[in-house]
Amino acid sequence: MDVLSEMLSVSSVRGSAGARITAAGEWGVEWAGDRDAVVYAVTAGIAYLIVDGDTPRMLMPGDVVVLAQGSGHTLASAPSAPVHSCDNAAAVDARLRGAALALGDGGARTHILGASYSYDFAAPVPVFAVLPPVLHLSAPQLDASASDIVTILGRELAAPGPATDLLLDRLVDVLLVEVMRAWLSTDTELSASWWGVLRDPLLYSAVSKIHEEPGRPWTTESLAREVSTSKQTLMRRFAVFTGTTPGKYITDWRMNLAARRLRDTDDSLDTIATDLGYASEFAFSRAFRRERQIPPGRYRSRSRDVGSRSRTRPSSTAEPAPSIAPTSDT
């Protein structure tokens, strides 16, 4: 069972490639905050990333930076460079032509790829919420696979072909996984959250069992037996790496799956309850309301209303957001 894939799927995380940015001389461009997460990869030259409340960061060739909460930010040739708002019309035109968004004057020295990640804001799995607001990984922290993906992204953006949009979006999804892998392997001070599941082999094994059979009548004791450890050890590892208990994780994951099925399927409450290990529709409804503060039927209606509005949001080819990606309706 691939736990990270399940987490990303439940949260409906989807990448969307943006555009190439080329810059020369003295330049600076500012983007307001957006709901979507933003990612930049520097392929040549240097740039400074400036986020409100954070020290300016120098980005070097091969660096990748993720703005997990879509914070407002500035990219510039230097912290003191004059800054202008993004020319959205120029960004759209460049993306459609397979050209670069040119900034500054003179021959381009800095090259940057931009993209974004949308996700279901009603989803309970906080994929981006528990990431650092600014996740900056230098080239040495990334493996060759991530570098290869960035290279292919740049080539495809420069010379679009059949199914370019599909290919770009898939590559951006893969880039996110590579970035997360690198972060998990390099951040030794990661705070306790569900990300800890991916850092501890015992927990990964235990959680995989839960994901494989979410409707099984799990107890902490039975889960410990499945992974050949003691109840005390399992509880201690959950507390250290995730900040929660095995029982709470099981309940949360069942609610995650229930929320996705309520949103995406017409399965009856009774069917969902049975599949997730609840003795009756009433028991499931009571548990769902306790965890989400809303009855499952009302959650289904509201989540579909939100999804319907989301599907009517402008696409990147109509009006780009700060990351040269779909705009927010907030």
CB 237 within 8 A of CB 223: no
d(CA 223, CA 207): 9
pLDDT at 289: 95
CB 85 within 8 A of CB 314: no
pLDDT at 125: 60
Angle (nearest 5°) at CA 178 between 175 and 181: 150
CB 127 within 8 A of CB 11: yes
pLDDT at 320: 35
In the predicted model, residues of the chain with pLDDT beneath 70 are: 1, 87-89, 91-92, 95-96, 98, 108, 120-126, 187-191, 306-330
Residue type for position 30: E
Beta strands 64-67; 100-104: pairing state: unpaired
Residues 6+ apart with CB under 8 A from 252: 124, 244, 291
d(CA 271, CA 276): 9
CB atoms within 10 A of CB 92: 18
pLDDT at 56: 94
CB 138 within 8 A of CB 62: yes
The pTM for the full model equals 0.74
* Token pair listed for 155: 């080539």
pLDDT at 312: 41
* Token pair listed for 4: 């990270």
